Structure 1
């Protein structure tokens, strides 16, 4: 029998499994009969593993052994801004492990155990696999797994590895807002060229996607988002508020007590849910604060909305940026589809509706289940099992930010442009600058600025041990490829020595959040004049450096004796490398001086392989 392919949404707060068979979508319940399973693991001190709702309850016994938010930790470095700023909210211990990736520590049988976020995600996925197999009464090995649209390469690769360790073959990593849109399009008759926007605010991540319906495809026009923004951050806002009340009124610091953290987080999550339908939530704290056996704190919806206002506004800013980047007007959006449990918040719905001029929002998809349902539909499209026959509807994703490399003069050369359809590929041909270069190395960047230093550094690709060759005679073909799972691979192929180097580029967040990175899109627009000036400057700089390198090569080859010219060329070449755009006038003067001192000699002695003059006008 051909394998059944299922869809899994491994969420920050809850996980959901779905399958499409015999013309309908079905949510696969867990052993307790629940349609979603909390993404929560408890490791009892005496040994064993507990998953889901029962794990949350049992963790009250030993909070430091109750692990959650694995999805937000996966693929990040320990010194990542998000991890560092949220350490105070976790009752469990997080430290730096191999290659600076975080590890979670706890004790079982008086032994310290360490687990990586990848291993913890594997445990959850193994449990979900058991649920699916029990409901379908057969082995399940193939899956479509959803991820936030703005998961970077490292996060995607680690997600794939976690699924593989759980016994799955992942047929596709599907972006979550795309999955939600697929579920919507499946249940609704949508006309051709219909444009919709998915606003997906889940437990740990936020995504916006603008999609256009075509005859047999759904094209993702633009995506934006932040994988550090979600319902857990709303919980943290309430936690901070309650902790401050306890500190101020009862002289008790809840942030240093793991037991208090776990109990308060549960209370905060309950209060957040209550405030979706009620104007106030009552938080009762029993037996936590010394000399105060029972404390009652009332949190109004108005206070909660005030505390969370920056987070709410951040989602609208991201939504706005997505529309600006896509060049689609608000009026062109025919449907705004809400997805993710946090969209139940009245203030969120009000702000999104107000942004679109009071537009009626679409709540037709189930906020907690639609992503898994979309994954199940995509799974059916990739399945060859006859029970999963389905009308094909191709989903076309796009590259979120431009990808390229740094060229001589720190110029950003774009290989794959932002919003290019995935899968995507591009290439560029390098030529060697001089005979001494026996290695090739280039930095790989993500961003929209012309100066690579103002974009995000992703990694480096290098080849050593190349054969010497005259300037401009050795070719290195540099290619970039993004597969259907959003994994970026860079390859350099040197033709003369027949050497090839290929790397999967790992995104490193450094000290910037994804939202700050995506603000570079706006910065690119605001600094257009500055970038144009830099581009002109670097073209002249590149030309002069290459000209002088090749001039000196010809000069030595022909054994000429204009010593003052040679010294001038060597000194000018060396000075040019570190010259910045602020020295534009000096660059122009050097350009004129090179023409006066070198052009006649090059013409007289028939110098070869000199570069063409820059196309930009040099005054």
Structure 2
């Protein structure tokens, strides 16, 4: 029998596991009986590793042994400004490794442990895997894991690597708001095409997605978000408020003491959660301030809303931006779907409802579980196990901007066109070496709609070395681009003459562009159509001139005339160099150089019957 496939929401604050079996969704409880597992790791002095609720409790006594918010470190450099900002709230030590990546330091009895974010994510996933296997009574190897829609490819690749380290084969990385929508759609029939908006605010990240839904199809129309906005940012604001109160009243700042900071963070998180149900609470701090056994700080919902208002408004502005960029009116949104634990905050619910002119919101019974349930549904769609059979709902994402590579005059050769559905089929195009006896070929990858590749966004490059030396235009290389179902771009160059292949995975996920950036790119291409027409004329002439010079030099070398006609050879070198440095507005200069070089070279080209000479079409 084919393996079961489970769904995992690997969250910043909490993680959750779900499976779809025999027509029902089932949350798989952990070994403690909980439906969600805190994304917390505690390393004991005896080198034992504990994950979950017990780890969270134990870290209050030894905060430098308890690691959390790992997801906020994934795929970031140690120098990242946001990572540095978050470090002031984390009680454990983080340093930079030799590559500039973050490395978490955990003290032990006789040594110090050093763990990467990937290794820590793998530990959490190993715990979730073991608990799921215990619940289902069999080995589980296949999984769908959710990630923020705005995770870039570095972050996605770290997640994939961590899952592999934990013993999983990842069938798909599913964007969190898409998972939430899939869960909602599963319980709500659709008889006609309409649009929905998912507002997904979790512990560490915020995503908004607009989806077009028909009876058997979900199409992602647009996404936006902020990987630096979530419940932990609200907690940190409360921490800052309490610290200022303690400084003012007791001349004490707990941020200087990592033990106190960890305990304070827990208290502030509890206060935030309480204020979703009541109008006021008291933050009680026992043993914090010298000569004061108990300090109580009253805190109201209104105070919380005031200090967090800027972040609340930021999330609404992202929603507004996404709506405008997709060209969709508020009236066109039939459903507003909330997911993520932070959507429990009453002020956020009111602001979203007000933005949509009082529209009722679709709230999940458990916003902490809906993303995992969506992942489980996607897992069932990919599973071949008969017990996971599910009616097909097709999820369609598209390439937001065209991708291609620049030729030798920086003309964009479009390979994957915008709005092509993911995953793409492998695309290929033939390239030939420009220069005589060329031994390497570099492909620069760009994203955008402009004909001038330099006007587009540079994504990365691949260099194929050790290619077979050959005359100009004779060594052929096949170039491929592919985007998989996880939104990861792979490129490959293959020399056709021999088995010489170079491959590279490039940092690309929905282009790493927000929908506002996508819209601006399309607008830029539309506004500059005339410029692109001029550029096309320029590079046609420039490319011909460069190829002409290369061909003459090749023939002079091949016919052993380079020494005899040294002045002609050097003139070709100089003209080629000049042509390569010309700009688009210098069309007349290209024409002058072409006329001049042909005047000098054409008699030899004709008399000695030079071959492989270019033709100006």
Report the Cα distance in structure 1 between the residues aligned to 2:541 and 2:250, rounded to whole angstroms.
71
Cα 1:323–1:288 shift into 2, 3 Å: same
Q: Secondary structure at the match of 1:57?
A: helix
Deviations 1:237-270 (A, max 9, x none): 2223323333444333333321122112112211
Instruction: Give the superposition deviation at 1:428.
Output: 3.8
What's 2:543 paired with?
A: 546
Deviations 1:189-243 (A, max 9, x none): 1123122121111111222222222343222222222322221222222223323
State which drifts further: 449-458 or 433-442.
449-458
Report the Cα distance in structure 2 between the residues aligned to 1:374 and 1:433, rounded to whole angstroms.
51
Report the Cα distance in structure 2 between the residues aligned to 1:98 and 1:410, rounded to whole angstroms.
35
Paired residues of 1:448 and 1:521 also in contact (CA < 8 A):
no
Instruction: Give the superposition deviation at 1:368.
Output: 0.8
Paired residues of 2:79 and 2:100 also in contact (CA < 8 A):
yes
Paired residues of 1:284 and 1:295 also in contact (CA < 8 A):
yes
What's 1:5 paired with?
A: 5
Cα 1:7–1:419 shift into 2, 3 Å: same
TM-score (norm 2): 0.88
Cα 1:80–1:200 shift into 2, 3 Å: same
Report the Cα distance in structure 2 between the residues aligned to 1:525 and 1:283, rounded to whole angstroms.
51
Aligned-pair RMSD on alpha carbons?
3.2
| Number of residue pairs the alignment of both structures matches | 605
Cα 1:301–1:460 shift into 2, 3 Å: same
Q: Secondary structure at the match of 1:543?
A: helix
Report the Cα distance in structure 2 between the residues aligned to 1:311 and 1:4, rounded to whole angstroms.
40
State which drifts further: 102-111 or 429-438.
429-438
Instruction: Give the superposition deviation at 1:183.
Output: 0.8
What's 1:443 paired with?
A: 444
Instruction: Give the superposition deviation at 1:391.
Output: 1.6
Report the Cα distance in structure 1 between the residues aligned to 2:46 and 2:9, rounded to whole angstroms.
31
What's 1:87 paired with?
A: 87
Q: How do 1:384-403 residues align onto structure 2 when only pairs under 5 Å count?
A: 384-399=384-399, 402-403=402-403
Is 1:427 the equivalent of 2:428?
Answer: yes
Q: Secondary structure at the match of 2:363?
A: coil
Report the Cα distance in structure 2 between the residues aligned to 1:335 and 1:438, rounded to whole angstroms.
58
Paired residues of 1:224 and 1:400 also in contact (CA < 8 A):
no
Paired residues of 2:552 and 2:572 also in contact (CA < 8 A):
no
Instruction: Give the superposition deviation at 1:518.
Output: 5.9
Paired residues of 1:225 and 1:318 also in contact (CA < 8 A):
yes
Instruction: Give the superposition deviation at 1:540.
Output: 5.0
Q: Secondary structure at the match of 2:104?
A: strand
Report the Cα distance in structure 2 between the residues aligned to 1:433 and 1:588, rounded to whole angstroms.
22
What's 2:502 paired with?
A: 501
Q: Secondary structure at the match of 1:6?
A: strand
Q: Secondary structure at the match of 1:610?
A: coil
Paired residues of 1:433 and 1:546 also in contact (CA < 8 A):
no
Report the Cα distance in structure 1 between the residues aligned to 2:203 and 2:23, rounded to whole angstroms.
30
Report the Cα distance in structure 1 between the residues aligned to 2:237 and 2:251, rounded to whole angstroms.
20
Cα 1:518–1:209 shift into 2, 3 Å: closer
State which drifts further: 172-181 or 357-366.
357-366
What's 2:106 paired with?
A: 106
State which drifts further: 562-571 or 229-238.
562-571
State which drifts further: 458-467 or 4-13.
458-467
What's 1:589 paired with?
A: 588
5+ residue gaps, structure 1, are 614-619
Q: Secondary structure at the match of 1:271?
A: helix
What's 1:475 paired with?
A: 476
What's 2:246 paired with?
A: 246
State which drifts further: 55-64 or 98-107.
98-107
Q: Secondary structure at the match of 2:204?
A: coil
Instruction: Give the superposition deviation at 1:365.
Output: 5.6
Report the Cα distance in structure 1 between the residues aligned to 2:87 and 2:313, rounded to whole angstroms.
24
Instruction: Give the superposition deviation at 1:572.
Output: 4.8
5+ residue gaps, structure 2, are none
Report the Cα distance in structure 2 between the residues aligned to 1:47 and 1:66, rounded to whole angstroms.
13
Is 1:555 the equivalent of 2:549?
Answer: no
Report the Cα distance in structure 1 between the residues aligned to 2:85 and 2:414, rounded to whole angstroms.
33
Q: Secondary structure at the match of 2:241?
A: helix
Is 1:378 the equivalent of 2:378?
Answer: yes
Instruction: Give the superposition deviation at 1:338.
Output: 0.9
Paired residues of 1:23 and 1:390 also in contact (CA < 8 A):
yes
Is 1:129 the equivalent of 2:132?
Answer: no
State which drifts further: 429-438 or 480-489.
429-438
Paired residues of 2:283 and 2:298 also in contact (CA < 8 A):
yes
What's 1:310 paired with?
A: 310
Instruction: Give the superposition deviation at 1:340.
Output: 0.8
What's 1:617 paired with?
A: none
Paired residues of 1:450 and 1:534 also in contact (CA < 8 A):
no
Instruction: Give the superposition deviation at 1:356.
Output: 2.5
Report the Cα distance in structure 2 between the residues aligned to 1:260 and 1:129, rounded to whole angstroms.
33
Q: Secondary structure at the match of 2:71?
A: helix
Report the Cα distance in structure 1 between the residues aligned to 2:280 and 2:447, rounded to whole angstroms.
44
State which drifts further: 430-439 or 560-569.
560-569
Report the Cα distance in structure 1 between the residues aligned to 2:459 and 2:129, rounded to whole angstroms.
34
Instruction: Give the superposition deviation at 1:298.
Output: 3.1
Instruction: Give the superposition deviation at 1:416.
Output: 3.0
Is 1:610 the equivalent of 2:609?
Answer: no
What's 1:116 paired with?
A: 116
Report the Cα distance in structure 2 between the residues aligned to 1:400 and 1:71, rounded to whole angstroms.
26
What's 1:59 paired with?
A: 59
